[in-house]
Amino acid sequence: MIKAVLDTNIIISALLNPDSEIAQIVNYARSGRFMAVTCDHIISELRLVLAKKFHRPVYYVDSVIREFLKFALAVGAKNSGLKLLKGNQGDNEVLKCAMVANADYLVSGDRKHILPLGKINGCKIVSAKEFIEIITKNSAKDKSNITCPQCYAKRCRRESQK
């Protein structure tokens, strides 16, 4: 199963525009078409941006994060001192999350800092549009490789009951 880290800007865009193409990415993760991976930094940034920049109430922010964590795998991104981007610790934390998770993809809308990197330690850095194409092609190609979104095991008891 594909593992992908969704940068905060992708999650925010999906939340603010639920009928958008970007929102499809979150829906694909929710339905188990790929494994979304996150870390404390992304969750903290999501909380901050929703509350401060978009003035969402605390109960809304908490509910969004709880819902996201139902289908996203949280990894502990230990302080490795990774500094790929000078002066931008937030972006370094997102890159570190992708590396610690051994993610296949990092999906970002950050055209200035993250997308230009292209790849880091085997993790491809792609835009939302590119990732949608990848997931669509992968799903069409490999319907037999179904993975349970609850336990991530292939052909588990729950998956076969569907």
Q: Is the pTM of this model over 0.85?
A: no
User: At 2, which amino acid appears?
Assistant: I
Of 53 and 88, more confident: 53
Judged against a pLDDT cut of 80, whether residue 85 lies above it is answered with: no
Interval 136-142 mean pLDDT = 74
Sorted by where each begins, the domain ranges of the chain are 3-160
Strands annotated E in 57-159: 72-75, 105-107, 119-120, 123-126
The pLDDT tens digits of the residues spanning 43-81 come to 999 999 999 999 999 999 999 999 999 999 999 866 555
Of 160 and 42, more confident: 42
Percentage of the chain beyond pLDDT 70 is: 78
Torsion of CA 8, 12, 15, 17, to 10 degrees: -130
Question: What is the end-to-end Cα distance of the chain in Å, rounded?
Answer: 19
- For 3-160, which CATH class? alpha beta
